[in-house]
Amino acid sequence: MSNYRCEKCSYTNWINDPIDVNGRPLQDWFCKKCSSKLFSVSYVKPAHSDAKPIKCQSCAATTKIVCIPHELGNSAKWNCPKCKLLLLNLAVRKKTTAQSLATSILNTAHNSQSSSQKNDTFSQFLRSNWLIVGFVIICLFVWINSSGSGNSSSSKTSTSYSSATKTKQNVYRGTKIAEQEFKKYSRSERLRIQKFFKDNFGYRSSIDGLWGQQTASSFIRAANRYASGKSLYSAQNVNVVYSTALNKQRNTPRSNNTNRSNNAQINNLGLTNDQAKTFNYLNNLCFSAAFGGSGPDALARCSRNAFCQAKFGRNCENQRPQVNCYIVEHPLKGTSMINFPDKIVCE
């Protein structure tokens, strides 16, 4: 076990994960705080191209760690080639050895000796109750034959499924490298990738360019098509999926919204494009009426009403006739002692 400080977030990680070859070309260790790759151990020589070198905490020298699986013991240690400081001390997870296999065989033999004594008692029971035992065996035989046809097909299906599952488990299908590579793209490219996942691989969240559970699930489905049978430990295989998505999704999701929002653009009059077309049509009619001799006041009133008709669907002001009122003296005023009132006349 060793301590290793992350170069990205400066968090000191306690490295306690053992070395587990399991048929892989390399093994990565990640920061427990920011999930960035700390270092790699390559199980092939020369070192794998995707293996990240480890950095010495003392002299800052970097080196790629290579180990041969069949040469590993119970633990593995690596020192800095420059200052000889201990870099790593990791445990090794191994498969069943010959010694443990021999121990299990001896335990089985011991158990068989103790069970032989029990078998003598069982044989005496069979000799004394052979009729009952025979009847039970015949009933079991008939029951197995009657239900065996249905179980045979299901057993074949389960066997094929388990074999397929074991085959898939041999290929690493995690998403840590996919998340790191996804964040290296620009925001517009991430939006295009998510749009491609939404159209083709069941992405159901919002297209925001952020990594999440929906993006990870959609990426796995896309990788099963465009990187089938390839390990997702490799950044090159991960970028094959992303480059395919970018090539097939030429336009960003914003382009569809742009076409939809063309009609909602606001001009200087505060009208949409369709409303502006209506205003221009009605205003041209007002100019035609002005040339007929209506006057500037009528032209201004017509233009205001054209604007309100385009925006609100009604005139700006009600068209009421103008009323002129004046006072008329009573015709008998001054001819009599009676003070006759004046008369108001409106036209």
Q: In 93-102, which positions are buried (b, 16+ CB within 10 angstroms) versus exposed (e)?
A: eeeeeeeeee
pLDDT > 90 fraction of the chain, expressed in percent and rounded: 16
pLDDT attached to residue 259:
44
Name, in order, each residue with C-beta under 8 angstroms of 206's C-beta and a sequence gap of 6 or more: none
* Chain centre distance of CA 139: 57
DSSP string covering 197-236: HHHHS---S--SS---HHHHHHHHHHHHHHSTT--TTSHH
**Which helix (DSSP H) or strand (DSSP E) does residue 142 occupy?**
helix 130-169
**In this predicted model, what pLDDT tens digit does every residue of 275-300 receive, in sequence order?**
888 888 888 877 766 655 566 777 78
Note the pLDDT of residue 164: 45
- Write the CB contacts of 21 (distance below 8 Å, at least 6 apart in sequence): 27, 43, 69, 72
β-bridge partners, 325? 346
Which residues, 6+ apart, have CB-to-CB distance to 55 below 8 Å? 7, 39, 61, 62
Domain boundaries, the chain: 2-91, 176-255, 273-320
Q: Greater confidence, 232 or 301? A: 232
CB burial of 292-323 (b: ≥16 within 10 Å; e: otherwise) equals eeeeeeebebbbebbbebbbeeeeeeeeeeee
Other CB atoms within 10 A of residue 209 CB: 19
Q: How much is the pLDDT for 238? A: 92
Could you tell me the pLDDT band of residue 224, with boundaries at 50, 70 and 90? very high
**Among 97-106, 199-208, 262-271, the least confident range:** 97-106
How open is the CA angle 9-16-77, to the nearest 5 degrees?
A: 100
My answer on whether omega of the bond before 321 falls inside 30° of 0, hence cis, is no
Axis-axis angle for helices 187-200, 213-226 (nearest 10): 70
Q: Which residues contact 328 (CB under 8 A, 6 or more apart)?
A: 342, 343, 344, 345
Q: Which residue has the higher pLDDT, 335 or 52?
A: 52
Question: What is the average pLDDT value for the chain, to the nearest integer?
Answer: 76
The better pLDDT of the pair 47, 115 is held by 47
Rounded to whole angstroms, the Cα distance separating 298 from 96 reads 102
Quick check: helix, strand or coil at residue 18?
coil
Name the residue with higher pLDDT: 328 or 195.
195
Distance, CA of 125 to chain centre = 65
Q: Return the higher-pLDDT residue of 176 and 303.
A: 176
Question: For residue 183, is pLDDT > 90?
Answer: yes
pLDDT at 162 over 50: no
pTM as predicted: 0.30
pLDDT digits 0-9 by tens, 239-262: 999 999 999 887 655 544 544 444
Of 151 and 314, more confident: 314
